[in-house]
Amino acid sequence: MPETLLSLGPLSIHIYGVMIAIGLLTALYFLLHDADCKKLITADELYTIVSLAIISGIIGGKLFYLSAHWNEFTSWKQMFAFWDVGFWVLGTFVGSFITIGWYLYRRKLPVLPIFDRASLYIPIMFAISRLGCFFTGCCYGLRTTHAWAIMYTSETSSAPLNQLIHPTQLYSSLGELFIFFLLFFYLQHSFKKPGQLFSLYVLLMSSERFLVDFFRGDRLLIAHNLSSAQCVALALGISSFFFFCYISYKQKNNFSDLKKSVSV
């Protein structure tokens, strides 16, 4: 598939951005129709949060990418071309949740319960967004001879051309889709304390990135065959695991109790 879907003079519509937009709108649709989310936050506040998430996610994703690939850019203009590919999903996640957490705290809204509801649908957003990476050729895989290997032939692709490689973008997309089904159909019914679903999502998401990165062809190794992204994912995974343990064994208020206190 061509990277550019439509060009109108200086304005171009890229498949990468279209898939991100579809993923974001899908997650927003689910949140707007989530019964528990409606009890915690109004639709107007949700729109504000999504706007903040978009801005902070773009900045966070780009900054994380620049921190690891700064030597690949030849000019300042190229480094801050936010409309081009070159984002870290982990940076997008960290930037968005830090900003949203700060906003919710300042607005005196229940941070962890809202994070829990958002965590149910964020995997859908990333699962769809990863398809943009697949069509563009970024986040490409290592060479392989497996039957499911793919090959890029377009000169606009970011992946190596005319080589059989792992479809790592699809690995990540399927991984996020699996996380969505696991959280939505099972884990949300078993873990009710505020923050549990959020910490479980971070643990699952970081585990997915850690494992898939072993098959990535664009990974930047820094220590013991681990990439910079894997080190960040490992730190997030360990932190979320201990946070989940703390919530599970120390926090006494369950989700329903907190909703009652908010509504009073």
Q: What is the predicted pLDDT for the residue at 75?
A: 57
DSSP state of 72: G
- The single residue listed with the structure tokens 């992946």 is 159
pLDDT tens figures, 39-57: 999 999 999 999 998 888 8
pLDDT tier at 108 (50, 70, 90 boundaries)?
very high
Q: Hey, how many other C-beta atoms are within 10 angstroms of the C-beta on 35?
A: 7
- CB crowding 159-193: b at 16 or more within 10 Å, else e: bbeebebbbbbbbbbebbbebbeebbeebbeebeb
Q: What is the predicted pLDDT for the residue at 20?
A: 87
Which amino acid does the sequence have at 49?
I
Which pTM was predicted?
A: 0.83
pLDDT tens figures, 232-251: 899 999 999 999 999 988 75
How many residues in the chain? 264
Distance between CA 229 and CA 222 in Å, rounded?
A: 10
Instruction: Provide the total of helices (H) and of strands (E) in the chain, helices listed first.
Output: 11, 4
Q: What is the predicted pLDDT for the residue at 87?
A: 66
Q: Angle, to 10 degrees, between the axis of helix 196-212 and the axis of helix 228-250?
A: 160
pLDDT at 258 over 50: no
Contact 105, 99 (CB under 8 A): no
pLDDT tier at 261 (50, 70, 90 boundaries)?
very low
Lowest mean per-residue pLDDT among 29-33, 83-87, 119-123, 144-148: 83-87
DSSP state of 152: B
